[in-house]
């Protein structure tokens, strides 16, 4: 019995472990997980050439059904991320994934972190950037690097359960 | 406060997600996780060239301190795996990782699974091979493919906690 729908974004050149850890971890926790990208049923390749298969495109997903959404890659998903956040989904982003919620306009006034390279973009978008491995503000969860995945997923699951 | 020591084996050409998912998942669950390989403080590369850094060599680890050991790669670790299993550690292996516990002589008489390519080697070693995604026999946990990682880690954590 699934606990509900979670979405993990995927596109070419995704970060291998930042995609697969959340995907597998949410499934382990009992959620139905869909990898969502610009095309459905496509095998995307990570930076190192590891597979990552999409289950659906952005428009296939009803934002109101999304319990949690994890943005690692950089797809054209602004509407889905924005609408899922508005509908109350937990939204997580790690590393350079921060560019997704910036464009989806869900970081203004929020305390967040990211890979340091994205710090200025978050500040310019109106967020408060802090240098911590993992930051939670409301239902927005952000983290810096692959090593922070355990704290990142623990925070997301804490908000879900 | 760490719940204890877990060991994940690593060597060149490791399977990217079968190493990193258990490593990060055990850390998320509160364990101290050491990646152990033929050399310490070495960056090993997965089949796709993703990094995997070893923290220690096999002989650095006291088998009696190991709560769980996950074998994915194929290092010269027979003594550690054998002694940790004898000392009561949970021993997990996935995919072609089955070759490790075969050589460590801990599968005889046990019900196990693996990547189908390793089925005959397990049977020749005296194990009962079954075609299921994840199998638990005592403290031995085995699984077939990366897609089975959620069930694999859930089974390992169930035995630990």
ipTM of the complex: 0.93
State the CB neighbour count (10 A cutoff) for residue B42: 16
How many domains, chain A? 1
Q: What is the pLDDT along chain A (161 residues), one digit of tens a residue?
A: 899 999 999 999 999 999 999 999 999 999 999 999 999 999 999 999 999 999 999 999 999 999 999 997 666 799 999 999 999 999 999 999 999 999 999 999 999 999 999 999 999 999 999 999 999 999 999 999 999 999 999 999 999 98
Q: Catalytic residues of A, which ones?
A: 96
Which residue range is the domain that position A115 belongs to? 5-160
Q: Which of A61, A50, A59 is nearest to A15 (CA)?
A: A50
| B137 beta partners | B140
Question: CA–CA distance from B60 to each of B8, B54, B77, B84 (Å)?
Answer: 13, 12, 11, 13
pLDDT value at B135 more than 80: yes
Query: Please, how many CA atoms are within 13 Å of residue A136, restricted to the half-sphere of its CB?
Result: 13
The CATH number given to whatever domain includes residue B50 is 3.40.50.880
- Contact by Cβ (8 Å): B19, B47: no
- Contact by Cβ (8 Å): B9, B75: yes
Interface of A with B (CB under 8 A): 16-17, 20-21, 24-25, 27-28, 46, 48-50, 146, 149-151, 153-154
Distance of alpha carbon B116 from alpha carbon B96, whole angstroms: 9
Confidence of residue B3 (pLDDT cuts 50, 70, 90): very high
B137-160 average pLDDT score: 97
Place of tokens 């298969």: A53
- Based on the residue annotation, tell me whether B96 is a catalytic residue of this protein: yes
CA angle B158, B138, B106 (to 5 degrees): 120
């Amino acid at each position: 019995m699934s606990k509900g729908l979670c979405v993990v974004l995927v596109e070419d050149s995704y970060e291998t472990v930042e995609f697969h850890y959340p995907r597998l971890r949410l499934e382990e926790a009992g959620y139905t997980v869909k990898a969502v990208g610009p095309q459905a049923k496509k095998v995307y390749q990570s930076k190192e050439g590891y597979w990552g298969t999409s289950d659906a495109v952005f428009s296939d997903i009803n934002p109101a059904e999304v319990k949690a959404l994890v943005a690692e890659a950089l797809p054209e998903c602004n509407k889905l991320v924005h609408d899922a956040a508005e509908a109350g989904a937990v939204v997580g982003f790690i590393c350079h994934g921060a560019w997704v919620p910036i464009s989806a306009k869900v970081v203004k006034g929020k305390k967040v972190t990211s890979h340091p390279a994205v710090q200025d973009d978050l500040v310019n978008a109106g967020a408060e950037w802090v240098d911590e491995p993992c930051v939670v503000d409301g239902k927005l969860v952000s983290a810096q690097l692959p090593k922070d995945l355990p704290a990142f997923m623990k925070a997301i699951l804490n908000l879900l359960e």
